[in-house]
Structure 1
């Protein structure tokens, strides 16, 4: 019996693992990547360290029209099995805070080098720098064409082209047209794990200020999500790891023309009553001291004029002896619940992952094969599954790539 001819479109995390898995099962594999090198996006993950998984990769950390879909896949290739896959390639790993898994070397380049070595060792044919521009099926074969005019035939096709995030690293959304041409539909796509733009002009003066705070997103008085950690104020809004985690819900709400909000607690470790007492103590130390100067032992100097103007204090040099209880109450409430109005997010080039994609209800959850186009498989970010920040998206890429590769080779 002749081996399967498996064509894999996309040489990112899911495409590479799919190629390795299919080749190990005896398939003849061709990997087509539009860039001149595979795996460029892997090099950027984890700030160059490659946060390759998370020990708590379960449904609660994933999103989409049907987040339960990921359970069928990750249960077949668990976190532990994924780490075993990499250990057999020669990669040692370590677990850090929050269950994040990194290579012991702290080098994303090492992860990519090992994947590339295995692909080459298994004899996978690679076509680089030549993006696929069309994909057709005329039973029993698939035919794809590349930009240079190559025509390639195969029994099976794995669509692993990624989303639209970080287009310079190869994610340009080209796979969407290929899947649609074969009859598959998509949920709306939008940037996720991305910085949030806000309407509040006064806070632009706090550009560059970092706080260890708590931030939550809300809609119609209901909390959507709450996170804690380093929050960075920028000239467009807010950034930092907690902000990235909130961004998907914010973007989704704005896409429905709803009006979500953001609430920041500057001092999550200090109860409101204690903060009120502290502020009173600071202004009571010297009645002649200017109000703005009295707060420099508590707040960043860039924050002071912004928050004082937000509570209606126009004379920042107002003597502390003239400060009233109402002003202290307003300042306390503002520092414990500072409200910002999100207006959007930054663009695809700033985002880490794409939310939305091909509808999972049209794909067999156990095999990742199309329900309507036999022999067509999907893997990774091109599907309507996206994870939180912290290694969850790469785990989805590895698991779905391995499952799709193994199944396509059978």
Structure 2
């Protein structure tokens, strides 16, 4: 039986695991990577530690026009299978807070090392600095035209070229052009897991300040999602884990032309009444203190004047004895509900992942094969599936890549 030749376009996480799955099944495999080496983006994941997957896998952590599409591949090669796969390659997996799974080495480079070693052992051929210009499909084979190189033929092709997030690491949207030229629809991409721009006059004064609280996205008076953790102020807006996690929802709403607000709660563990009582006690302890001074030791000093001014308190140094109960209530409400207008997300260069992508309606969920072009498969971020922070996006890369590689290697 003739050995299948499979060409994988894109040497990221999805492309590499697809190459291993296909080569283990007897295929001749080539990876075409436009950067000087494969796996560059993988090295940056998990702040350089590589958050391999999440032990608390849930379809609710995935998004897209049809997020349920991901479920089939996630079940075929789930988080346990991912951990077993890497343990077999030599990566000892450890589960940390919130179910995040990391290599015990704490180094993303170790994950890339074992993947490349296995690829080399299986005879996978890496061709780097290879920019694919077009893919044509004939009755018997695909022809892949590569800039300044000979045309490559293939029996099957796996498109694992990524999205548009962080283009310096290889994802520049070129895969979309190739897929669209072959008749596939594109759900307009936008940056996700990214910092948010805020329209507010006080950002410069708060740049670098942090608070531990709760952030929520509110549209038309309805809270769509909320997250807790450390929130960081910058001169452009907000960042920190809760903000990054909320950014996908914010970006989606802004694309729809909606006015999206972010609501900060400085004391999510306390009720509004508890905050009011706390402020009353603090102002009654030293009635001669200036009102603004009474907040020292309660919140970050850099927030005090901003919060009070946002609450409509102009005479900040009014003695506590002259502050009315109504004024305290207004300040308490501001501390529980600090509303800011989101103007935009930050750019592609700062995004961790792409929302949107090739419409999964054009793809078979069982095999990752195109419904339009037989023998063409998709893997990873190029599709309209994206996940939350915490290992979910890499799990999608591993699952979809493994299924695509295995399915493509079947000689049919």
Q: Could you tell me how far 1:325 is from its partner in structure 2?
A: 1.4
Task: State the distance in 2 between where 1:148 and 1:316 align.
Answer: 68
Aligned to 1:373: 373
Is 1:333 the counterpart of 2:333? The answer is: yes
**CA offsets 1:309-332 (integer angstroms, 9 cap, x no match):** 111222222222221112101100
Aligned to 1:163: 163
Task: State the distance in 1 between where 2:209 and 2:136 align.
Answer: 52
Aligned to 1:387: 387
* 3-state DSSP of counterpart to 1:341: strand
Is 1:71 the counterpart of 2:92? The answer is: no
Aligned to 1:400: 400
Aligned to 1:409: 409
Q: Could you tell me how far 1:228 is from its partner in structure 2?
A: 0.8
* 3-state DSSP of counterpart to 1:187: strand
Q: Could you tell me how far 1:185 is from its partner in structure 2?
A: 0.6
Task: State the distance in 2 between where 1:35 and 1:2 align.
Answer: 31
Aligned to 1:310: 310
* 3-state DSSP of counterpart to 1:357: strand
1:210-229 mapped onto 2 (5 Å cutoff): 210-229=210-229
TM-score by length of 2: 0.98
Task: State the distance in 2 between where 1:153 and 1:166 align.
Answer: 30
Task: State the distance in 2 between where 1:312 and 1:12 align.
Answer: 52
Alignment RMSD:
1.0
Task: State the distance in 1 between where 2:57 and 2:11 align.
Answer: 23
1:193-342 mapped onto 2 (5 Å cutoff): 193-342=193-342
Q: Could you tell me how far 1:56 is from its partner in structure 2?
A: 1.9
* 3-state DSSP of counterpart to 2:238: strand
Aligned to 2:32: 32
Aligned to 2:110: 110
TM-score by length of 1: 0.98
Instruction: Say which is worse superposed, 31-40 or 210-219, in terms of deviation.
Output: 210-219
**CA offsets 1:359-407 (integer angstroms, 9 cap, x no match):** 1111111000001100000000000000000000000000111100011
Question: Do the aligned residues in 2 keep the contact of 1:193 with 1:351 (CA within 8 Å)?
Answer: yes
Task: State the distance in 2 between where 1:296 and 1:47 align.
Answer: 34
Q: Could you tell me how far 1:288 is from its partner in structure 2?
A: 2.4
Aligned to 1:190: 190
Q: Could you tell me how far 1:18 is from its partner in structure 2?
A: 0.5
Task: State the distance in 1 between where 2:364 and 2:310 align.
Answer: 54
Task: State the distance in 2 between where 1:305 and 1:82 align.
Answer: 50
* 3-state DSSP of counterpart to 1:68: helix
* 3-state DSSP of counterpart to 2:357: coil
Task: State the distance in 2 between where 1:323 and 1:235 align.
Answer: 32
Instruction: Say which is worse superposed, 37-46 or 272-281, in terms of deviation.
Output: 272-281
Q: Could you tell me how far 1:134 is from its partner in structure 2?
A: 1.1
Question: Do the aligned residues in 2 keep the contact of 1:355 with 1:384 (CA within 8 Å)?
Answer: yes
Task: State the distance in 2 between where 1:14 and 1:57 align.
Answer: 18
* 3-state DSSP of counterpart to 1:369: coil
1:171-182 mapped onto 2 (5 Å cutoff): 171-182=171-182
Q: Could you tell me how far 1:408 is from its partner in structure 2?
A: 0.6
Task: State the distance in 1 between where 2:28 and 2:387 align.
Answer: 32
* 3-state DSSP of counterpart to 1:251: helix
Task: State the distance in 1 between where 2:137 and 2:230 align.
Answer: 50
Aligned to 1:94: 94
Aligned to 1:139: 139
Question: Do the aligned residues in 2 keep the contact of 1:204 with 1:237 (CA within 8 Å)?
Answer: no
Task: State the distance in 1 between where 2:297 and 2:90 align.
Answer: 51
Task: State the distance in 1 between where 2:256 and 2:204 align.
Answer: 27
Task: State the distance in 2 between where 1:16 and 1:220 align.
Answer: 43
Question: Do the aligned residues in 2 keep the contact of 1:262 with 1:341 (CA within 8 Å)?
Answer: yes
Task: State the distance in 2 between where 1:399 and 1:287 align.
Answer: 63
Question: Do the aligned residues in 2 keep the contact of 1:203 with 1:306 (CA within 8 Å)?
Answer: no
